[in-house]
Amino acid sequence: MKRKFIIILILLLIFLLSGCSSILKNFKDETPPKIVKVQPTDGAKDVDISSEIKVYFNEKLAENSIKSSILLIRKDTGKVMEADVSYKNKVITLDPKRKYVDIGNKIVLRGVKTGLEYQIFIKDDIKDDSGNSLKENHSFEFKTSDLDYGLYWFGPNGECEKYVDGRKNEYYDPQKPVVIYSHGWQPGLYESTFTQDQPYIRSTHNYSINTGKIWRKKGYNIGAWMWGQFAAEGFLEDEIIRVEDAEAKIWFDKNIRYKVRNGSYRYFNQKKSVHEIFYDTYIKALRNNTNENIRLVGHSIGNQVVITLAHKISNNIKENNLDSHYMPKRIALLDPYWSNSHFSNGKSIANVISDYAMEMATKNDVVIENYRTTKTSTLIGDLNYALQDIAAVYRVNAGFLDYLKKLTKFRKEHNYATTWYFWSMKYDIPANNNGVIGARASNYKIKQCMNIHRNSTWFWKMNWFGVGNMAGEETPSPYDDEFTMESGVISAIGN
């Protein structure tokens, strides 16, 4: 009897459950999805240009309805910005892309920029898992901060992504060697479509060169320290050449101003110098790097940025505040500039830089190379002969620019130092007397060319005719360049 009762009960449960299943099958979800939150919030201001955009929903979405249904639009132009779109856990994420491109021998930056208004537009055809669409289009607006600075990692074709603490960066691998570039003075920043100087997409003399791809094929993480708005002091502004104003920000934390989109200046709200800001970012960004092959490259006054950074790292390692893996193994100075300014102790900036270089070369075994394409310091600066007595010194000529007017020629020669050095990673460049030259040469070989390791001071000078009697300095490419060793220093007159 008991057994019969159990069987009847089981059959009854099966009947009831099948009935419920039928009811559930007939029930249709007709409730549209809802947006519960957006980041940045609607109307937000001072949004960092590297910020991800997130849209939160109350239920799961049909992923195939998402990608073309959410747009980031620059309001003043109506242009849709390129962005990666992803979806996870009821959240759509837009990651705006930034990319340097060569358009008609002019390098421009595409992507979200400072001091502008943007719109997040969400179409009503986004669907939930049941096929229900949003009832209407939605839009939210925000304005980006008027200031951007930081360490950017680059991809193989001009793409770049700012380092943000705690966020995985698409273009950085902690197991690979590192090169980080610092630009110099940027007097024409806003006249050049808001594009800061970087070394990986270059244009010179009708050549378009993707040096980033060359370095990445060699296995490098390629980065750039972008401080252009701080460095954007004017050329002949108020009839004064203001390179010294930009230079001072590298060293001092007082009255640091930056240039904004309308050409005016605002003051930085942190009491830190440019090299101190760089140091803070560098330490976080490279905390997990296991390769320990780090190279710093500074152009113009950017040489002071990388030297002061490296010296601060050296001091903190010495005081047991930092692990030794942070110390760069090699520093390249590209057409470096030092003003005649002096510190309160009477030492010139050039004196201090050469002291730092000497200390790092002797105590940290840092390899230092110095490439000159102009005589920048002969105009209003310091020749810094003391540094030439320490570094491996090279004179790179740009004869292919001789047809230009003097001021234009000088500017292009000055910038050519960056192009030549990063391009030189592609080639083995010959020099006599066992000399080596260029980015591709090993640290060991460049160290052998450093004057601190020699009995007297020498430099290598580019020949008029290059390899196999080819054009040499008459072409932009390092491919046909050849160098000859000469005694002495690169001076104001002659070489």
Specify the CATH number for the domain of residue 99: 2.60.40.3710
Q: Which of 82, 111, 144 is the last residue of a domain?
A: 144
Cβ distance 244 to 231 under 8 Å? no
pLDDT score of 316 more than 90: yes
Q: Are residues 207 and 129 in the same domain?
A: no
> What one-character DSSP code corresponds to residue 240?
B
In which band, very low, low, confident or very high, does the pLDDT at 6 lie, cut at 50, 70 and 90?
low
Look at residue 312 and tell me if it is in a domain.
yes
Look at residue 239 and tell me if it is in a domain.
yes
Look at residue 209 and tell me if it is in a domain.
yes
Taking each helix axis from N to C terminus, what angle separates 243-251 and 274-285, rounded to the nearest 10 degrees?
Answer: 50
Q: Is 323 helix (H, G, I), strand (E, B) or coil?
A: coil
**Number of other CB atoms surrounding residue 28 within 10 Å:** 8
Task: Give the pLDDT confidence score for residue 15 in this predicted structure.
Answer: 47
Laid out side by side, the sheet with 117-122 consists of 44-47, 138-144, 117-122, 70-74
Q: For 395-428, what is each residue's pLDDT tens digit?
A: 999 888 887 887 888 889 999 999 999 999 999 9
> What one-character DSSP code corresponds to residue 132?
P
In which band, very low, low, confident or very high, does the pLDDT at 189 lie, cut at 50, 70 and 90?
confident
**Model's pTM, two decimal places?**
0.91
Q: Are residues 133 and 262 in the same domain?
A: no
> What one-character DSSP code corresponds to residue 219?
T
Q: Are residues 371 and 466 in the same domain?
A: yes
CATH code where residue 440 lies: 3.40.50
In which band, very low, low, confident or very high, does the pLDDT at 191 lie, cut at 50, 70 and 90?
low
Task: Give the pLDDT confidence score for residue 456 in this predicted structure.
Answer: 87
Give the separation between CA 454 and CA 332, rounded to whole angstroms: 19
When divided into structural domains, the chain yields a total of: 2
Mean pLDDT of 78-93: 96
Q: Are residues 187 and 201 in the same domain?
A: yes
Q: Are residues 259 and 370 in the same domain?
A: yes
* Span of 123-137, 269-283, 318-332, 394-408 with lowest mean pLDDT: 394-408
What is the rounded average pLDDT for all residues in the chain?
89
Q: Which of 86, 118, 144 is the last residue of a domain?
A: 144
pLDDT score of 209 more than 50: yes
Task: Give the pLDDT confidence score for residue 465 in this predicted structure.
Answer: 56
Percent of the chain surpassing pLDDT 70: 89
In which band, very low, low, confident or very high, does the pLDDT at 8 lie, cut at 50, 70 and 90?
low
Look at residue 12 and tell me if it is in a domain.
no
Expressed as residue numbers, the domain containing 98 is: 35-144
Look at residue 383 and tell me if it is in a domain.
yes
> What one-character DSSP code corresponds to residue 273?
-
Closest Cα to residue 302, out of 441, 191, 185, 205? 185
Q: Are residues 118 and 167 in the same domain?
A: no
| Residue position matching structure tokens 């009960």 | 9
Q: Is 385 helix (H, G, I), strand (E, B) or coil?
A: helix
Task: Give the pLDDT confidence score for residue 7 in this predicted structure.
Answer: 58
DSSP line for 23-79: HHHH----PPP-EEEEESPTTEEEE-TT--EEEEESS-B-GGGTGGGEEEEETTT-P
Task: Give the pLDDT confidence score for residue 247 in this predicted structure.
Answer: 96
Q: Are residues 332 and 385 in the same domain?
A: yes
In which band, very low, low, confident or very high, does the pLDDT at 358 lie, cut at 50, 70 and 90?
very high
Cβ distance 40 to 51 under 8 Å? yes
Q: For 221-275, what is each residue's pLDDT tens digit?
A: 999 999 999 999 977 655 456 899 999 999 999 989 999 998 899 999 999 999 9
Look at residue 13 and tell me if it is in a domain.
no
Closest Cα to residue 365, out of 422, 447, 268, 434? 447
Task: Give the pLDDT confidence score for residue 490 in this predicted structure.
Answer: 82
Task: Give the pLDDT confidence score for residue 23 in this predicted structure.
Answer: 45
Look at residue 76 and tell me if it is in a domain.
yes
Q: Are residues 127 and 214 in the same domain?
A: no
Mean pLDDT of 365-369: 98
Q: Which of 122, 144, 166 is the last residue of a domain?
A: 144
Q: Are residues 338 and 301 in the same domain?
A: yes
Q: Are residues 280 and 222 in the same domain?
A: yes
Q: Which amino acid is at 379?
A: L
Give the separation between CA 278 and CA 310, rounded to whole angstroms: 10
Task: Give the pLDDT confidence score for residue 301 in this predicted structure.
Answer: 97
Q: Are residues 113 and 180 in the same domain?
A: no
Look at residue 9 and tell me if it is in a domain.
no
Pair of tokens at residue 43:
């109307």
Give the separation between CA 85 and CA 368, rounded to whole angstroms: 43
Give the separation between CA 168 and CA 64, rounded to whole angstroms: 25
Q: Are residues 313 and 186 in the same domain?
A: yes
